Structure formats: C-alpha cells, structure tokens
A and B are shown apart, each in its own frame.
Chain A
Amino acid sequence: MIVFENVSKSYLTQKALDNVNLKIPNGKIVGIIGENGSGKSTMLKLMAGLIRPSKGSVKVNDIPANRKVSEIVTYLSELDAYYVMYTVKQTINFFSTQFKDFDLTKAYKIMEFMKLDPDQKVKNLSKGNRGRLRIVLSLARDVPYIILDEPFSGLDPMVRESVVKGLLSYIDLERQTVIITTHEIQEVEALLDMIIVIRNGRILDMKEVEHLHEKEQKSVVEWLKKVYEAS
C-alpha cells in the first residue's frame, strides 16, 4: 500500500501539493487524472522517492519513500540524455546491469511485442517509440510497484492499443500495483480499477471505476465533469 499522510510539497513559493491524504491499495491499476501543473508528477516523484515532502510523510509498504524505495518501485519519467547514443538493445542491456531484479529475457520479449527495433538509436526514436521503450524498461523489472507517467500520451489509437495489451500481458496484479497518469481517460476506462482526481495540488476525489458504472451510471468523463464543477 502507498500512503500519503498530510503531504504538502512546495517549490520555493509555489505549492505543488496541499495536504494530501491518500491510501492506494495493492494489486490494482490506478489512474491519476489532472490538468498540467495539477501536482500529478509531484505525486509520482514522491512515491518513487525522488523528492521529499515539505510536510507529512509518504510510505510505500510501510517504508518511508526515500532513494532506497527504488528497490521496490520502478519509475522512469524521461530517458536521460545519457542514453541517446545507445541503441534500444544497448539501453536494455545497460538497464539490466543497473537493477538486480531486471529480467533481460522478459525485456526482449516486451521489446518485440512493442515492435521496437533493437538496433535503432534512442535519439532517432519517435516520441511514441521512446514512450514504449520506457514501458519495456519499467515492466522488465520484477518490482511490486510500477509507476508510468503518461504511457499513452502522443500515441495514435493503434499504438495505444498495443501498449495497453503489452501492459496487460506483462503485469501480474497478484504481486504488482500499477500507477499511471493519463489524459486519455475514455480509452483506458476499462483498464483502471481506481481513479484519483487531482487539481491545484489537492485530491478532489478517489473512486473505483466500476463503482461509478454501477452506482452512478456514469463514465469516468461524465463523473470528472461533475467533480470539477463541484470544486
């Protein structure tokens, strides 16, 4: 479980998160939705232990989320400039030397599934293919928490479908929890167990997607409108 307790985060004078309280259960696919600048990336970075809260605490499986949490959380925001001279295959091989839980065979399998050319240089990859390489690198690690930042953004529908299928093929919800941020809400509605809405650094609501269908007869998009209007 990932627990945010009274978490605030400020950058200089700007407040990115404002007293967030949240419990994300294990074994789910959870979507975080919010506009640009709403605090989504700050939340992900806190879970991954890349930044520390200004106030409050973030814990992953009862462990405070600091640099060490990367042993149980995988999170890749962007591929560093460092990799651009590497080919896809070289990048994957390099990652396998960096994480002892990295499954090289699985990485190659996902790479094939995502139709990535192993010999292409990372710097020559399209934005969509770069996103897919990040997914390969994330899913090949055998860790309980997988965090994906905008895995579907900038992808055309066919590619998005292959990414969704890749994700479903290579995660194991009996042992893993997946947290994604997304703008493409409608297209991934069937993929998500839960949805968290964030605006101006505050959590507006958190719901089970099937609960919305069953109890409110609403799609996520319809529900979002309602939540935004009420805020």
Chain B
Amino acid sequence: MSIQPQMPRLWRRETKPHKFCPGCGHPLILKALAEAIDELGIADRTIFGCDIGCSLLSWDFFNLDTVQTHHGRTTPVMVGIKRARPELICIAYMGDGGGYAIGSQHLVNSAVRNENIMAVLANNTVYAMTGGQMAPTTMPDQKTETSPYGRNVKEAGNPTQGPEMVAAIASQDAYVARGTISKLGQLKNFFKKGLKNQMEGKGFSFIEALSACPTNWRTNAEETWNFIEKDMTKYYTVGEIKAPVQDKEG
C-alpha cells in the first residue's frame, strides 16, 4: 500500500493530476495557499482569480469559486468583486509578466488605494507559457528566448523588485512579503498573514513567491533548486517586507 501525501482539503481531486509541467513551482505555491485557506476556515467565502500565462492552469485547481481572467487583469477583476461584495475574500493569482509588466498599473494603484484583496505573484524569472521570453524579473545576464545573450541591464533595466516597490507605496496597514517554494511553511504563513489582513479589513496584501520553471530554464532538479535558493535569493530577499505594526508586536 502506498502512502498518499497529505493534501489540503481545497485540493480538487477531480482535476488532478494538475496541468503544470513536472518540476513547476505553481502547484507548490497553490498547495501552500490552499493550506492557508484551510487553516483559516474561509473556503466558504473565498474567490480565486487567475491570470493568463501558466497561472491560468489553476482555473479548476481548487474547490473554490474561480475565474480565469485576461493577461494582467486579475487584480482589477478581484477588486471589482471585493468592492461589490466586501464579505468575500478575494485572491488574485498571477505571474511576473501579469503583475509587473502588462498589469503593473493595477498592482500599483490597488496598493495605493489599499484595496482589501490579496495579490499573489509567482516569480519564475521568465514568461513561461509563451516559451521562455525575458520577464520583468529575469536576472541580470540570464539567458531567455528574447535575451539570448543574457539580460543586459543597460538595455532592459534591472529586474523588478515587486514587493519592495509595493511596500514603498502601500498603506501602513498593507502586508507585503516575499516567500519561496523552497520554504513552503514560511510561504504558507505569509499567505495566512495576508489573508488575515484582508479578513480584518486592513487592506492590500501582496505576496511574491520565488518559483521554478525547469522547462524554460532547461535545468535539472539540482540546477533548478540551486537557481531558486542561491541565484534568485541574491537579488530577491526572502521575508516580510512590510507588516502592519500590530502584527510585528504580536
């Protein structure tokens, strides 16, 4: 008899195996998110929205009411729902292209308005669904399909530090953190804190998760983990970037 791994209650078995590539970081992020929702007991009022890009493959992932939107537009759809029905818990799930490039105006302005939703962004340093182009988060000198000689920061600028940017403009009650799929317990706790912030009506929460794309990185398991744990963390600091004062004291 094989031992089945413990899966969150929200994990919808009817739609598994999931649609992500082997080694993808999305299912790990989603698992941590599902555990956070389970532990908070808010599944009955949580709405999940996913973007375009690989994140869209989560459209039937959960036992949650879900809407898959357009590229970059998940944040405004969730804002629209939350404004109309404040009793719901709204989560916008997107990739780095959706959040930092095509939908960056929504991230910035939702943070400024302190919209009471949680945005979750998977940072895997590439546009993965479209075949591995340079993303806002592509590391300096990293090779992608549209930066075949490596990202030249003089031409393409520095990688976007999203949580730091959001923290700089968000209200003092906002919750902002960067987690990683290599520390799932911590990532789950960040999600819980973000969701609690929303439940308490404190406003915007934003959690970036460092994620993996071995398909487009063309890495084996060891190289994949090295890239996430060593290379990415040199540039992307993992931890809470902004937490409401009372949480820090508590």
To the question of whether A and B form a pair in one complex, the answer is no
B interface with A by C-beta (< 8 Å): none
